Amino acid sequence: MRLVKLLANLGYGSRKEMQVAIRNGWLTDREGSRLKADAKTAHEDILFDDEPLDPAHGVVILMNKPLGYTCSIKDQGRLVYDLLPDRFRMRKPVLSTIGRLDKETSGALLFTDDGTFLHRVISPKSEVPKIYEVTLDRPMKGDEGALFASGDMMLESEDKPLKPAELQVLDETHARLTLHEGRYHQVRRMFAATGNHVTDLTRSHIGGLGLEGLEEGKWKVLSEEEKTRIFEGG
C-alpha cells in the first residue's frame, strides 16, 4: 500500500494532507531518513513526526471503560471513542467495539477494525465467557445460583431461555457472574427477575483476558498471545 493511502486509512488526515506531510519531511524511518510517497519501509519502522505509526489493520484494543461513557456514536454525551486518539475515529476500516457496555457498566471493552475477528468473538458458537463483578442493593436469597445455572431461566419479553451461567457468591450483596452469551442488560435483568437490583457492575474478564495493570480509562493494543486468551474457557 502506498504511504499516502496507508496514512489516510489510519486516520492521520486526508490523502492531500498526507502528501503535504510527506513533502514537509514529517515521515521518516527509524534512522531519521525522510520517506517518499513510494517508500517500501515496513510499517513498524515508519515514524510520523518522530512517533511510531498507529497499529496496522487487524488491531485489537482492550480498554478499561469508566462509568458514564457509552459505546454507540449515535448516543449523546461522552463516548468511549473520546478516550482514544481522535484520528482513531477516521480509520478505514472503522474501529468498532466488540459488543457493548452500557453507560452504568465499567470494565473490559474490546475494539477492532477486523470484522472477521469481531464476529468470531461475538458468535454464539464461540461462547466466549464474560465475567462480571456485581454489587447488589439487598442480600441474595440463596437460590440465585441454581436458577442461573439451570438453563431454564426466561427473561421478561423473551421466548428463549438463557444459557446456563455460573454464580460465585462473594458475600450477601457481592457476586461474580460468568455469562456465555450477551443479551441486552442481561446481568441486571437476571437479578431483577430475582427481586434484586444491581447497583454496581464491572466486566472484569473477556474469556481468559483480564484487566490486570490497566487503569480505568486507559487502553492498550493486544499482542497475539493476548488475543488468543480471549477464546480461553469458551
Q: How far apart are CA 206 and CA 234, in angstroms?
A: 10
137 is catalytic: no
Label residues 111-141 b or e (16+ Cβ within 10 Å = b).
bbbbeebbeebeeeeeebbbbbbbebeeebe
Looking at the chain, how many residues does it have? 234
Three cell numbers, residue 94: 472503522
The residue annotated as part of the active site, out of 50, 102, 152, 200, is 102
Maximum distance among all alpha carbons in the chain?
69
From 116, 134, 149, select the one nearest 191 (Cα to Cα): 134
Residues 6+ apart with CB under 8 A from 4: 15, 18, 19, 22, 37
Contact 200, 53 (CB under 8 A): no
Complete edge-to-edge strand list for the sheet that includes strand 27-29: 27-29, 46-48, 51-52
Catalytic residues: 102
